[in-house]
Amino acid sequence: MNTSGIRAQFPIFKDNSLVYLDSAATAQKPQCVIDAEKSFYENENASVKRGMYKLAERATEEFESAREKVRSFIGAKSANEIVFTKSATESINLVAKSYGEKFLKKEDTVLLSILEHHSNIVPWMQLKERIGINIEWVHLKNGELDMEELKSKLEKFSPKLLAITCASNVTGVVTSYKEITDLAHDVGAKVVLDAAQLVPHREINIQDIDCDFLVFSGHKVYGPTGIGVLYGKEELLEDMPAFLGGGSMIQEVTEDGFTETHLPDKFEAGTPPIAQAIGLGVAIDWISDIGWEAIEKHEEELRKYAYQKLSELPFITFMDPAVRGPRSAVRSIGCLSFVTNGIHPHDLTEYLGSKGICLRAGHHCAQPLHKYLGHTASTRMSLGIYNSKEDIDKMCEAISEAYKFFLGENAIKSTTSK
């Protein structure tokens, strides 16, 4: 892949010294996405869905065409199954509140995995507080979800719902989300997949996976912030009550009550994120133009390189307990978290930040996973299409410098000789 050609499309990299390795938090935006939002406000700005004039009709067409692009991007059957929200977080909250309160009852089990981001934990805990569901967990074996534990918990608890990530935002491990979906369906459970970290890196097809719900965020797929996607099977969304109340989600309002409108408007109360949806549509076109094959090949090469270079640093321990060689491409996205002996992740990451090398430190909104793996925090490096081997070299050099800075000149020598 011509990385410099790709980088040139991102205005933020006009600053040549910027080393951005935090795409799991949010991806940078290509010029075409920025232009699409700007152009909407300059040329087409109007509210959507109820337009009685040309401008509003055009805005509505663009907005609905973005929905169609998302539908095709994930291979859903119908555009009615694509709900625009503000984020992956809001999409999961929508399912927990709307589906959860109507279809789950006290003591029904929801099965989560220890890999989950807080966005796919807390909404279920809030549901537990409201209606008294039971939450059970699946843990890890060799860094991957323990499928034996999963099967035995499916059998023991007959959960009504599984909420599972497709890829960890800490270790990068990709779960067997298709197999998990099939196993869950065998015991009659519904499946919510958190694809926030998978969708920027892998092509998916909803109809092949056959999950009941799937969520992701626009800003991690090179699109704007403020736009998220909820995919839901049409028959399920039809039976679920609206999440938020307000304009656009009603058929009729009287002094006595209201009736809900059709899909997907029923779940899009108020003025939706119009420019953001259009920007997301352009990001999807941009990804399709590059092509999944090229993206996956480039990121896989870099992931292996990053793993190799980081492994050469003797004071680094990977968070993934099973990493003894990098996982195969199907089992991991380009996201690696680690701790360094003797330096707190925040100190290390702040040092790197002072050199213009952007990584993330903390628990990455996955506190249960950190606790399970015996850490309170880690440093995370995550890749995007625009990264190069040079970025990884700069990161590794700066980590070595940091080690000397915090622990003294001889620290590396003594670590190596141990």
Ligand X SMILES: Cc1ncc(COP(=O)(O)O)c(C=O)c1O
From candidates 196, 211, 295, 302, binder to ligand X by CB under 6 A: 196
Residue 381 in the binding site for ligand X (CB under 6 A) = no
Whose Cβ is closer to ligand X: residue 121's or residue 184's? Answer: 121
Catalytic residue (one of 32, 166, 211, 365): 365
- Choose between 94 and 402: whose C-beta lies nearer to ligand X: 94
Q: Which long-range contacts (CB under 8 A, 24 or more apart) does 213-219 make?
A: 213/91, 213/95, 213/99, 214/74, 215/88, 215/91, 215/92, 215/95, 216/88, 216/91, 217/87, 217/88, 217/89, 218/276, 218/277, 218/279, 218/280, 218/283, 219/26, 219/27, 219/87
Q: Which range binds ligand X by CB under 6 A, 64-72, 114-122, 244-252, 405-413?
A: 114-122
Contact residue for ligand X among 28, 60, 169, 181 (CB under 6 A): 169
Query: Is there binding between residue 382 and ligand X (CB under 6 A)?
Result: no
Q: Is 89 in the site for ligand X (CB under 6 A)?
A: yes
Q: In the range 200-229, which residues lie near ligand X by CB under 6 A?
A: 217
87 binds ligand X (CB under 6 A): yes
Least distance (Å) between residue 109 CB and ligand X: 21
CB of 113 to ligand X, least distance (A): 11
Nearer to ligand X, 75 or 362 (CB): 362
109 contacts ligand X (rule: CB under 6 A): no
From CA 91, how far away is CA 151, in angstroms rounded? 27
Nearer of residues 160 and 360 to ligand X, judged by Cβ: 360
Stretch that binds ligand X, among 66-74, 97-105, 115-123, 268-276 (CB under 6 A): 115-123
**379 lies in the binding site for ligand X (CB under 6 A):** no
- Written in H, E and C, the secondary structure of the chain is CCHHHHHCCCHHHHCCCCEECECCCCCCCCHHHHHHHHHHHHHHCCCCCCCCCHHHHHHHHHHHHHHHHHHHHHCCCCHHHEEEECCHHHHHHHHHHHHHHHHCCCCCEEEEECCCCHHHCHHHHHHHHHHCCEEEEECEECCEECHHHHHHHHHHHCCCEEEEECECCCCCEECCHHHHHHHHHHCCCEEEEECCCCCCCCCCCHHHHCCCEEEEEHHHHCCCCCCEEEEECHHHHHHCCCCCCCCCCEEEEECCEEEECCCCHHHCCCCCCHHHHHHHHHHHHHHHHHCHHHHHHHHHHHHHHHHHHHHCCCCEEECCCCCCCCCCHHHECCEEEEEECCECHHHHHHHHHHCCEECEEECCCCHHHHHHCCCCCEEEEECCCCCCHHHHHHHHHHHHHHHHHHHCCCHHHHHHHC
Does residue 60 bind ligand X (CB under 6 A)? no
**Interface with ligand X, residue 194, by CB under 6 A:** yes
Of the candidate residues 60, 165, 276, 349, the single one contacting ligand X (CB under 6 A): 165
Q: In angstroms, what is the minimal distance from the CB of 398 to ligand X?
A: 24
Is 335 an active-site residue?
A: no
Contact call for residue 28 and ligand X (CB under 6 A): no
Nearer to ligand X, 82 or 396 (CB): 82
The residue from 69, 117, 233, 298 that contacts ligand X (CB under 6 A) is 117
Q: Does residue number 88 form part of the binding site for ligand X (CB under 6 A)?
A: yes
Is residue 119 near ligand X by the rule CB under 6 A? yes
- The answer to whether 197 contacts ligand X (rule: CB under 6 A) is yes
Give the pairing type, strands 19-20 and 360-362: unpaired
Provide, rounded to whole angstroms, the least separation between the CB of residue 313 and ligand X.
25
CB of 116 to ligand X, least distance (A): 7
The yes or no reply on residue 76 touching ligand X (CB under 6 A) is no
Q: How far is the CB of 219 from ligand X (least distance, A)?
A: 6
On whether the CB atoms of residues 166 and 333 are closer than 8 A, the answer is no
Q: How far is the CB of 119 from ligand X (least distance, A)?
A: 4
CB nearer to ligand X: give 164 or 343.
164
Q: Which residues are at the interface with ligand X (CB under 6 A)?
A: 87-89, 117, 119-120, 165, 169, 194, 196-197, 217
Catalytically active residues, by annotation: 365
